[in-house]
Amino acid sequence: MQAGVGWKPGVVGHARTAADTESPVGYAFHTGEPIISNHLAEETRFRTPALLVEHGIKRAINVLIQEDGQRYGVLEVDSPTPGRFTAADLAFLQGFANLLGVALERQRVEEARQQSEARLQKAVAHQEVLTREISHRVKNSLAMVAGLSSPENRGN
């Protein structure tokens, strides 16, 4: 669990649930299908994770987060109150998951750009060192030619 509100202390950032098709998260991730489960206690598609049972979660929605067409993770909304999640709730959550996917893609592209820029800066610095070395060698060679062609070194 990466983030959350209303969980017992120590859960957010530490809790994990199975990602196989026997869990709501794994089912959504592996099938690529959004999940609405308004009665987790009666669910037959998968088992309800102990973490949800411990927190009295009665219903959940799970939608896929994709980055550049690749499955990244699952966004889940849980509720301890009885009621019904609707298709409108699902559409809202999927829209939010899509925004997260775009943000993840943008972050990945920005990190790649920064890495590329760092490599370019390193190459430019290396080129500057080579240019200074060549310049130094040319100056030495010209000084040697000038010294050899000076009147003192020429035979009379």
Q: What domains lie within the chain, and their CATH numbers?
A: 24-110 (3.30.450.40)
Of the CA atoms within 13 Å of residue 28, those in its CB half-sphere come to 23
**How far is the CA of 87 from the CAs of 7, 37, 91, in angstroms?**
25, 12, 6
pLDDT at 155: 60
For the stretch 91-139, pLDDT in tens is: 999 999 999 999 999 999 999 999 999 999 999 999 999 999 999 999 9
For the stretch 1-32, pLDDT in tens is: 888 888 888 888 888 887 788 888 889 999 99
Looking at the chain, the whole-number percentage of residues with pLDDT higher than 90 is: 59
Could you tell me how far CA 149 lies from the centroid of its own chain? 65
Per-residue pLDDT averaged across 33-46, rounded? Answer: 91
Which residues lie below 8 Å from residue 82, measured CB to CB, with a gap of 6+? 58, 59
* Contact of 24 with 35, CB cutoff 8 Å: yes
Among 51-55, 65-69, 112-116, 139-143, top mean pLDDT goes to 112-116
Task: Output phi, psi for 64, to 5 deg.
Answer: -80, 135
pLDDT at 156: 53
Joined together, the tokens standing for residue 39 give 């009665």
Joined together, the tokens standing for residue 99 give 């925004």
Per-residue pLDDT averaged across 69-81, rounded? Answer: 92
The answer to whether the predicted template modeling score (pTM) of the entire model surpasses 0.75 is no
Average pLDDT of the residues of the chain: 90
Fill in the amino acid letter for 34. P
* Contact of 25 with 76, CB cutoff 8 Å: yes
